[in-house]
Amino acid sequence: MLHPEMESALNEQLKWEIYSGYLYLAMSAYFEDLGLPGFAHWMKAQTAEEFMHAMKFYKFIFERDGRVVLQEIPA
């Protein structure tokens, strides 16, 4: 079982991993619009990596009988 402060910190990091993936995805769309497929592809790869990190936190919390809290992503 996770200590409440640890669970909160892990959920906070989960939020920032998802946020990072979202930003990389936005950058990928931007580069696609500019006709720069290489940059867009690289940003998509970064998106996948950030979402993979997020899923590791998600799984870690659940495996320790914690509660995953998907928080609002800031604008």
On the CB side of 15, how many CA atoms lie within 13 Å of its CA?
A: 13
Q: How far apart are CA 26 and CA 13, in angstroms?
A: 20
Who contacts 63 (Cβ-Cβ below 8 Å, separation ≥6)?
A: none
Who contacts 34 (Cβ-Cβ below 8 Å, separation ≥6)?
A: none
Does residue 58 or residue 1 have the better pLDDT? 58
Put simply, whether the predicted model's pTM sits higher than 0.85 gets the answer yes
CA neighbor of 53 nearest in space, from 23, 24, 16: 16
Q: What is the mean pLDDT of the chain?
A: 97
The confidence score (pLDDT) of residue 75 equals 77
Predicted confidence (pLDDT) at residue 43 exceeds the cutoff of 80: yes
The confidence score (pLDDT) of residue 20 equals 98
Q: Which CATH number applies to 4-63: 1.10.20.10, 1.10.3720.10, 3.90.45.10, 1.20.1260.10?
A: 1.20.1260.10
